[in-house]
Amino acid sequence: MATQPPQIDLSVSEPLEAAVDETTALVQYPGLREFRATLGGTPLVEVPGPPGGAKIMAKYEFRNPSGSAKDRPAYSMLCRAINAHAGQDGPLKVVDCSGGNMARALTGLNAVTGIPVRAVMPDSVPQSLLTHLTERGTAIDLVPASEFPLAIMQRASEIAAEDPSWTLLAQHRNMANVAAHQFFTGREIVGQLDGVRPSAVVGAVGSGGMIAGVARALRGISPGLSVIGVTPAELPYGTPEPPNAEPKFAGAGGLTYGMRQPFVEKLIPEFESAQVSHPEALTAMYDFWKETGTRIGSSAGASWLIAREKAKNLGPDETVVTVFADAGSKEDWEKAESMGN
């Protein structure tokens, strides 16, 4: 395990004022139209909450084409990369770090564009996902899970620096990530709320793009909105500790060494942090399935738990919004079901 933090660039630009222009990408890669046609428009569903507490509305992002919320920023960042690559020599190739879902989303985009994809991931990612990615041609670089997440960010940056033919998407710093969730996910939620002003929004914090973008959209209609980011108890947001290899719920975590996700730190004033342990998240997955018949992932299970806690302290006329990022891996479901039984 690294004893000193790697040198990571966490600088970010000002937020984008509009969604990334898709025109060039859709003309240059007509196959993207099929992906775009099924992207977004995911349902906002009332889910079980505490008796007498606020209503909880969950955005089912696992209904996106590759199965997660990462489809939106993957598409947005790829369109931005295509725009920036116009007029340059050589084919566009993209690389980024991923805890799992970003790699899956980019692999789905590779299938309709042919743009080569390289993903840097912790060696703890489920084997079922690695098989899915490699069978579809994505190049994978694995780093020790004990050094997650900074090591995957560092290695992705190194790859682009060592071989400039790879374009670094940099999901932790690319404002196209936030824009995808502000101008699409967030605006969809605003429309689906149909005039209701939510009291709080809850979401897992990985890159921070989802919670930042959705919060920015919702604060447009509800300025006093509470924003609660959920990270694993084993790797909390803003933790001063170094990375560790403890099992954690997927798709989220503190950056370690006291570093904080720049989207959250820069874009979400009055941000609240909450933690959920790996066993608690797995149990929540199973409990939600038993109550609703719908499968959600471990980060969604964690978000549901914290949304319920928040709703418990609010009145029945109030609303808490949360985002369910994915439906969970085969391996997580095997663990959740074994715990539930």
Q: Residue 6: which pLDDT band, with cuts at 50, 70 and 90?
A: confident
Handedness of CA 19, 23, 28, 31 (dihedral sign): positive
Does 207 lie in the same domain as 121? no
Question: Span 115-121, mean pLDDT?
Answer: 98
Does 287 lie in the same domain as 229? yes
**Alpha carbon distance 91, 41 (integer Å):** 32
Percent of the chain exceeding pLDDT 70 equals: 99
Nearest to 276 by CA among 246, 299, 292, 257: 299
Number of domains in the chain: 2
Domain of 200 in residue numbering reads as 28-63+180-340
- Is residue 275 in some structural domain? yes
Handedness of CA 121, 340, 234, 320 (dihedral sign): positive
Contact by Cβ (8 Å): 109, 117: yes
**Alpha carbon distance 341, 205 (integer Å):** 29
Sheet with strand 117-122: strands edge to edge: 139-143, 117-122, 93-97, 166-168
Does 193 lie in the same domain as 49? yes
pLDDT at residue 51, rounded to an integer: 97
204 forms bridges with which residues in the sheet?
Answer: 230
- Cβ-proximal residues to 287 (8 Å cutoff; 6+ apart), any chain: 301, 340
Nearest 5°: phi and psi at 322? Answer: -140, 165
* Burial of 197: CB neighbours in 10 Å, binned 0-12, 13-18, 19+: middle
**Alpha carbon distance 171, 292 (integer Å):** 33
Q: Residue 3: which pLDDT band, with cuts at 50, 70 and 90?
A: low
CATH number, domain at 155?
3.40.50.1100
pLDDT at residue 4, rounded to an integer: 73
Which of 168, 198, 229 corresponds to the end of one domain?
168
- Cβ-proximal residues to 87 (8 Å cutoff; 6+ apart), any chain: none
Question: How far is C-alpha 218 from the geometric centre of its chain's CA atoms?
Answer: 18
Does 332 lie in the same domain as 270? yes
Token couple for 141: 């670089």
Does 112 lie in the same domain as 199? no
Does the pLDDT of residue 1 top 50, yes or no?
no
Angle separating helix axes 278-292 and 330-340, nearest 10 degrees: 80
Question: How far is C-alpha 120 from the geometric centre of its chain's CA atoms?
Answer: 16
Does 320 lie in the same domain as 195? yes
Does 335 lie in the same domain as 309? yes
What DSSP character marks residue 134? H
- Is residue 21 in some structural domain? no
Question: How far is C-alpha 236 from the geometric centre of its chain's CA atoms?
Answer: 16
Does 75 lie in the same domain as 38? no
Does 317 lie in the same domain as 201? yes
Q: What is the pLDDT of residues 121-166, one digit of tens each?
A: 999 999 999 999 999 999 999 999 999 999 999 999 999 999 999 9
- Is residue 2 in some structural domain? no
- Is residue 231 in some structural domain? yes
